[in-house]
Amino acid sequence: MKLLRRCLRILILSLLSVSVFAPLVLVSYRLKTITSIGRREFIDDLWSRPRDVEALSSMEQEAGESLKGPRPIVFKDNDFQSREGINSLEFGSNPSKEHKDNRFEDEGEKNNSYKATGQHDRGAVKRDKNARIPQSRSVDYKVKEMTDQLIRARVYLSFAPPGSNSHLTKELRQRIKELEHAVEEVTKDSALTKSALQKMKNMESSLVKAGHAYPDCSAMSSKLRAMTDNAEEQVRMQKKQVTYLVNLAARTTPKGFHCLSMRLTSEYFALPPPSERELLEQKKLLHDTKLYHYAVFSDNVLACAVVVNSTVSSAKEPERIVFHLVTNSLNLPAMSMWFSLNPMGRATVEVLRMEDFEWLSREYDLGWKVHNFSDPRFTSELNYLRFYLPNIFPSLDKVVVLDHDVVVQKDLSGLWHVDMKGKVNGAVETCQENEASFLRMDMFINFSDPLIADEFDSKACTWAFGMNVFDLRRWREENLTARYHEYLRLSNERPILKGGSLPLGWVTFYNQTTAVERRWHMLGLGHDSTVPPDDIEKAAVIHYNGAWKPWLDIGFGEYKGLWSKHMDFDNPYLQQCNIHG
Ligand SMILES: *[C@@H]1O[C@H](CO)[C@@H](O)[C@H](O)[C@H]1NC(C)=O
Ligand SMILES: *[C@@H]1O[C@H](CO)[C@@H](O)[C@H](O)[C@H]1NC(C)=O
Ligand SMILES: *[C@@H]1O[C@H](CO)[C@@H](O)[C@H](O)[C@H]1NC(C)=O
Ligand SMILES: *[C@@H]1O[C@H](CO)[C@@H](O)[C@H](O)[C@H]1NC(C)=O
Ligand SMILES: *[C@@H]1O[C@H](CO)[C@@H](O)[C@H](O)[C@H]1NC(C)=O
Ligand SMILES: *[C@@H]1O[C@H](CO)[C@@H](O)[C@H](O)[C@H]1NC(C)=O
């Protein structure tokens, strides 16, 4: 009996000692045998704790900010009593407090983000979140790690010789299958299981094995590089396609515009011609050098309508405005019809067609016809007519040329009083490097050619078409049209200029251009969606240069309104042709 009790005592004591010492032994054993994976987990743990605390407090602040009035009651701690803290005192004594809190609890049922803040005790909030957020964070992290392992395993597999069925590839395939399954499970339940962690460990050791099996780093990296290149090539192709489509959209006239042109044209021929007296009266104004003359070269009826209407509506003295619209014979009827149906107040509008300029073929060998650009925006003959202004308007001294993709927002009569300093062309400059409109001479002009290098300075300031004041008297004195033809001929013989009329303008008006203030002409609304609204508002003329024209579907939505407000879309012709703002 005594022996039995003794044995029992020894047994109990030894059990006790085991329960006391075993944890100590086990912990120290674990500390010694932290594997590489174990160490990473350990470090992750160390890392994740402060991060989660940070995340937690920022979450709480966010949630707090999304609440209006009663927030200060919910968070009584000093941390959360910022400027509104004072309100909380008032609110604290407010008898409606209970009612408000109930409201939040009700909403809490529907919306998780309110649920936590609806609790009265902040401690409870914290505990609740502690239980949820860090868990999902570390799960996210593990899922990322798993995906990373999967990618690495697949790279090793793709690196194995095709058709190989070695032990290692089989193992990798098996591990990939397992891990994919684990990732699925984890993302479904957003909980990590022991088996998932075990699968990660297995995968890691297989990957280490694979690393030993393929020690040839350079082959490996070239394989990886090839994969990256492949991806980059796809991105490049996509970008190319987008550019192509945008340019295509910019070149194609929307269906509604064709419809409008057709309808206006058929009406035009049903109209009785204007009387002699009307024509005579108009003629007087067209040549009056005391009036403000504007020229637009275009085949787009709607675009011209907006340019003219916006100029006239912003003008202080619309009766002194004369518009000369130059188009081709195809569009002349529609253009004339539009402006006789929609007279622009007391302003005068004349429509000319280039086919009537018989001096053009008589006096000049039409160099611009042989120009061979793939983009019709550059080949449009109308685009090059601006170099013949003194011939088109023999009786005028000064003219402002507007592109058809501009909108006038201010009275422009001040342009007629700008000091031109004896120069021919007044334009805004585009040589400030920090601006979106920045252009350098050598972007379009080939300075490797000695002829160019001798005559021009590649650092000379560049300027923009779109809104230019031309002094036609000085132009005639300087024979600039002859100079234009000289460079046109040269550029047909050797590769000195590229891309449209702008570089031709730079060389033609070299030394003959004076800068006008930037507020007169704001560029970029057709290619830059980040133009500061302040600059747009202040500008006298805004220019949708680029492919994103305001009348196209691709145009920037935020700038379309500035254009479409000058067009009455209730007009029956626009309605019939399904053209909307
Ligand atoms: C909860 O509210 C937030 C912010 O008001 C909202 O973004 C979220 O969609 C809502 N969630 C549900 C489930 O209603
Ligand atoms: C214009 O380009 C086409 C094809 O790109 C070519 O066949 C033709 O000879 C070119 N014309 C001139 C005048 O360069
Ligand atoms: C620039 O001009 C030189 C000389 O005329 C010519 O050899 C060269 O190909 C041209 N460069 C380009 C990009 O056209
Ligand atoms: C312009 O050309 C005319 C004749 O073509 C010539 O008489 C005149 O001297 C030229 N003026 C200048 C500035 O070159
Ligand atoms: C531009 O002006 C400068 C100085 O006034 C002169 O030296 C140069 O020859 C001129 N260049 C051209 C192309 O007229
Ligand atoms: C011209 O523009 C004004 C606003 O600036 C607009 O009210 C009017 O309808 C436009 N006229 C036409 C014919 O589109």
Please give the structure tokens belonging to residue 395.
Answer: 């009786």
Which atom of ligand 6 is closest in space to residue 309's alpha carbon?
1
Ligand 5 pocket residue status of 510, Cβ below 6 Å: yes
User: Can you give the pTM of this predicted structure?
Assistant: 0.61
b (16+ CB within 10 A) / e for 502-537: bbbbbbbbbebbbebebebbbbbbbbbeebeeeebe
Please give the structure tokens belonging to residue 313.
Answer: 């509506």
Ligand 2 pocket residue status of 370, Cβ below 6 Å: yes
Q: Mutation test of ligand 1: which of 111, 112, 114, 117 has the most ligand atoms closer than 8 Å to its C-beta? A: 111
Three-state SS string over 444-489 comes to: CECCCCHHHHHHCCCCCCCECCCEEEEEHHHHHHHCHHHHHHHHHH
pLDDT in 10s for each residue of the chain, 581 residues: 566 677 566 656 566 565 655 555 554 555 444 444 444 444 444 343 333 444 434 443 443 333 333 333 333 333 333 333 333 333 333 333 334 333 333 333 334 433 333 334 444 444 444 444 455 667 778 888 888 888 888 877 877 776 666 888 888 889 999 999 888 888 777 777 888 888 899 998 888 888 777 766 656 666 776 777 777 777 777 777 777 777 766 666 778 888 898 889 888 888 777 777 777 788 888 988 899 999 999 989 999 999 999 999 999 999 999 999 999 888 899 999 999 899 888 899 999 988 888 888 777 766 555 454 554 555 577 888 899 999 999 999 999 999 999 999 999 999 999 999 999 999 999 988 877 788 888 888 888 888 888 899 988 999 999 999 999 999 999 999 999 988 888 888 888 887 678 889 999 999 999 999 999 999 988 888 888 889 899 999 999 988 888 888 888 888 889 999 999 999 999 998 888 87
Q: Taking a C-beta distance cutoff of 8 angstroms, is the pair 541, 521 a contact?
A: yes
Query: Residue 12: exposed, middle, or buried by beta-carbon count in 10 A (0-12, 13-18, 19+)?
Result: exposed
- Considering every ligand atom shown, identify the ligand nearest to the alpha carbon of residue 498 and give its number: 3
What fold characterizes domain 255-576? Answer: Spore Coat Polysaccharide Biosynthesis Protein SpsA; Chain A (3.90.550)
- Dmax over CA atoms of the chain, in Å, equals 144
Ligand 5, atom 2: nearest CA belongs to which residue? 511
Q: What is the CB < 6 Å shell around ligand 1?
A: 110-111, 113
Q: Taking a C-beta distance cutoff of 8 angstroms, is the pair 125, 60 a contact?
A: yes
Q: Where are the domains of the chain?
A: 255-576
